[in-house]
Copies of this chain bind each other. A is one copy, B any other.
């Protein structure tokens, strides 16, 4: 496996321009000679992985004279659009708290089988772009999570074989509208309107580039979640997970090929330890209801800010921070042509 960090610059069309980013996220360089976009690199990963790793090593060694400062404000999500976003829910304590606080059943099958939904992937927003929705009475909420990008995974791939298909790791803000979620789920068809466009961390890192921060196919560092300037949680992915990414990938690939560039999430990170807090407002409100009888923390309102980041043991940002504010949608599509 090759060490690399990559990002996507907001220019050059809908899919942006692929950048290789240095380990400390300070420097970047475009690599049109390898691939114009991240999706095109994933489409030919076996050919591109080595050359991208070479550029990463050269960047870190300070020998790329064409390097420029990496500015997360100018980054799109590493994949500005993707052919797939599917998300499991492996930190079951998140679902337990949310369902218990609203007296809804949690299907027992979710303890023994992967639960996973197909999400929208045609239109992501950048890590510093606003979360947009028509009305904040829809109770907008962040959901901080960890996700992976895979190469081609053939139908029937086992969990044992699936780990090798994890090529990149990112953080995600799986933006949700809580006011319409229960009625939508009651239709039995999953979630759609209650899941607007996600944003991802400015940088995606290969498992190897994460070093000790990635073990047994999972991030070992806390996901730090801040809302309106207040830290609401810092749960760890490697605690209290019922399933891992390899099992999620195998679940998805059971009855279909999963194509390169698919993004697979593991759900809202949550730990049983109350000290870990919450990675979304719905869960925080659920804890308030269970502990105190009623929810105190409001959902997001227009103008509210959120921040999601993970750092290594020395405090260095691994993927850069997702920093978004909530804005009313203006009827103008978020497409960078």
Which residues of A are interface residues toward B (Cβ below 8 A)?
Answer: 13-14, 43, 81-84, 86, 89, 107, 109-110, 113, 115-123, 132-134, 138, 152-157, 177, 180, 183, 185-194, 196-197, 251-252, 254-259, 261-262, 329, 331-335
Q: Are A122 and B262 in contact (CB under 8 A)?
A: yes
Q: Are A134 and B109 in contact (CB under 8 A)?
A: no
With A and B bound together, what is the CA distance between A331 and B297 in angstroms? Answer: 49
Q: How far is the CB of A177 from chain B (nearest CB, A)?
A: 6
Q: Are A255 and B121 in contact (CB under 8 A)?
A: no
Prevailing SS type, chain A contact patch: loop
What are the residues of chain B within 8 A of A122 when measuring CB–CB? 83-84, 258-259, 261-262
Q: How far is the CB of A90 from chain B (nearest CB, A)?
A: 13
Other A-B contacts than A86-B120, A155-B329, A156-B331, 19 sampled, CB-CB below 8 A, are A81-B83, A81-B259, A84-B122, A107-B186, A115-B187, A115-B188, A115-B189, A117-B118, A118-B118, A122-B261, A123-B257, A123-B259, A133-B255, A153-B333, A154-B332, A155-B331, A189-B191, A196-B255, A259-B333
What are the residues of chain B within 8 A of A117 when measuring CB–CB? 118, 189-190, 192
Q: How far is the CB of A308 from chain B (nearest CB, A)?
A: 20
What are the residues of chain B within 8 A of A118 when measuring CB–CB? 117-120, 190-192
Q: Are A191 and B190 in contact (CB under 8 A)?
A: yes
With A and B bound together, what is the CA distance between A118 and B116 in angstroms? Answer: 12
What are the residues of chain B within 8 A of A257 when measuring CB–CB? 123, 197, 333-335
With A and B bound together, what is the CA distance between A24 and B83 in angstroms? Answer: 32
With A and B bound together, what is the CA distance between A113 and B117 in angstroms? Answer: 21
Q: 7 nearest interchain CB pairs? A: A190-B190, A83-B122, A84-B122, A122-B259, A117-B189, A257-B333, A154-B333
Q: Are B155 and A109 in contact (CB under 8 A)?
A: no
Protomer copies: 2
Q: How far is the CB of A66 from chain B (nearest CB, A)?
A: 28
What are the residues of chain B within 8 A of A259 when measuring CB–CB? 14, 81, 122-123, 333, 335
Q: How far is the CB of A116 from chain B (nearest CB, A)?
A: 5
What are the residues of chain B within 8 A of A123 when measuring CB–CB? 83, 256-259
Interface centre among A154, A257, A329 (most CB of B within 10 A): A257
With A and B bound together, what is the CA distance between A188 and B187 in angstroms? Answer: 9
Q: Are A84 and B193 in contact (CB under 8 A)?
A: no
With A and B bound together, what is the CA distance between A95 and B190 in angstroms? Answer: 16
With A and B bound together, what is the CA distance between A185 and B187 in angstroms? Answer: 10
With A and B bound together, what is the CA distance between A185 and B89 in angstroms? Answer: 15
Of chain B, the residue at the smallest CB distance from A105 is B188
With A and B bound together, what is the CA distance between A185 and B109 in angstroms? Answer: 11
With A and B bound together, what is the CA distance between A118 and B132 in angstroms? Answer: 20
Of chain B, the residue at the smallest CB distance from A190 is B190
What are the residues of chain B within 8 A of A116 when measuring CB–CB? 189, 192
Of chain B, the residue at the smallest CB distance from A89 is B189
With A and B bound together, what is the CA distance between A335 and B113 in angstroms? Answer: 29
What are the residues of chain B within 8 A of A154 when measuring CB–CB? 331-333
What are the residues of chain B within 8 A of A107 when measuring CB–CB? 186-188
Of chain B, the residue at the smallest CB distance from A186 is B107
Of chain B, the residue at the smallest CB distance from A107 is B187
Of chain B, the residue at the smallest CB distance from A117 is B189
